[in-house]
């Protein structure tokens, strides 16, 4: 079992999502149903003010900066936002837009992202693990109806599969036709290629 699968909570044998349990080893705290308690208490992240199960809404956009913002692609932030909200099939609003960058990102890119409403997450190494863990977290907490991943990297296939297992729609956004990952596209409910 690979590092990414372990971080996403996949079993070595079954490949499915391992349910989280309370500290006493009891109830599945990710279950959504009668009497379920979310990880954030009785209301949980997917509960409304009355404690009833609430349907997740909107689109969570996760952008793999090193693979999307390359010289060979002409990508801008407005195109990414538009692709995420149109490509999810519902036209939902963005609930989050995150750009993941490594420590070598230019200050200009960081400033442009922030000016366009993106939360910038900078890592000291490869951005893949942080982005994948955040996608899995959004899925488990049902913080959006759709998870959109902008990348050309097949490594995010397990993250999209986890989101699907939690019942979220998934969208793969490719930065260009020659920067497409067919495996990533096949693992998502929908796929969009920028510039097409």
Strands 169-174 and 146-150, by their bridges, are parallel
Alpha-carbon separation of residue 57 from 15, 94, 168 (angstroms)? 27, 9, 10
Q: Which helix (H) or strand (E) holds 136?
A: helix 128-140
Q: Is it the case that residue 11 has pLDDT exceeding 50?
A: no
Q: Is it the case that residue 41 has pLDDT exceeding 80?
A: no
Tell me which of 67 and 23 has the higher pLDDT.
67
Tell me which of 139 and 26 has the higher pLDDT.
139
- CATH classification of 59-193, choosing from 3.40.50.300, 3.40.50.1010, 3.30.450.20, 3.30.460.80? 3.40.50.1010
Alpha-carbon separation of residue 190 from 55, 72, 95, 151, 194 (angstroms)? 20, 24, 19, 14, 13
Q: What's the whole-number mean pLDDT along residues 180-191?
A: 84
**Opening angle at CA 84, ends 122 and 146, nearest 5:** 90
Summarize pLDDT for 66-88 with one digit per residue, the tens: 988 877 677 889 999 999 987 55
Q: Is it the case that residue 15 has pLDDT exceeding 80?
A: no
Name 71's Cβ contacts closer than 8 Å, sequence gap at least 6.
none
Listed range (53-62, 96-105, 150-159, 165-174) with the worst mean pLDDT: 53-62
Query: How would you classify residue 166: left for phi > 0, otherwise alpha for psi between -120 and 50, otherwise beta?
Result: alpha
pLDDT at 117: 94
Summarize pLDDT for 122-174 with one digit per residue, the tens: 998 889 999 999 999 989 998 889 999 999 888 899 999 999 999 999 999 98
pLDDT at 91: 55
CA distance 129 to 7: 8
The answer to whether the CB of 129 falls within 8 A of the CB of 1 is no
CA 2 to chain centre: 19
Map out the domains of the chain as residue ranges: 59-193
- Look at residue 86 and give its three-state secondary structure: helix
pLDDT at 172: 92
The pTM for the full model equals: 0.72
Task: Look at residues 92, 98, 82 and name the one whose alpha carbon lies nearest to residue 173.
Answer: 82
């Amino acid at each position: 079992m690979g590092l990414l699968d372990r971080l996403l909570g996949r079993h070595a044998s079954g490949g499915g999502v391992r349910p989280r349990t309370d500290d006493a080893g009891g109830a599945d705290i990710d279950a959504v149903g009668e009497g379920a308690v979310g990880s954030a208490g009785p209301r949980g992240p997917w509960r409304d003010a009355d404690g009833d199960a609430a349907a997740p809404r909107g689109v969570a956009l996760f952008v793999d900066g090193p693979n999307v913002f390359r010289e060979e692609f002409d990508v801008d932030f407005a195109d990414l936002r538009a692709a995420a909200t149109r490509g999810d099939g519902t036209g939902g609003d963005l609930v989050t837009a995150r750009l993941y960058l490594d420590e070598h990102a230019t200050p200009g890119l960081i400033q442009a992202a922030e000016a366009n409403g993106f939360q910038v997450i900078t890592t000291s190494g490869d951005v893949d693990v942080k982005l994948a863990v955040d996608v899995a977290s959004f899925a488990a907490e049902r913080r959006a109806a759709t998870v959109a991943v902008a990348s050309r990297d097949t490594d995010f296939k397990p993250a999209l599969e986890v989101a699907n297992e939690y019942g979220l729609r998934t969208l793969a956004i490719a930065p260009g036709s020659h920067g497409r990952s067919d495996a990533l596209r096949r693992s998502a409910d929908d796929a969009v290629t920028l510039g097409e």
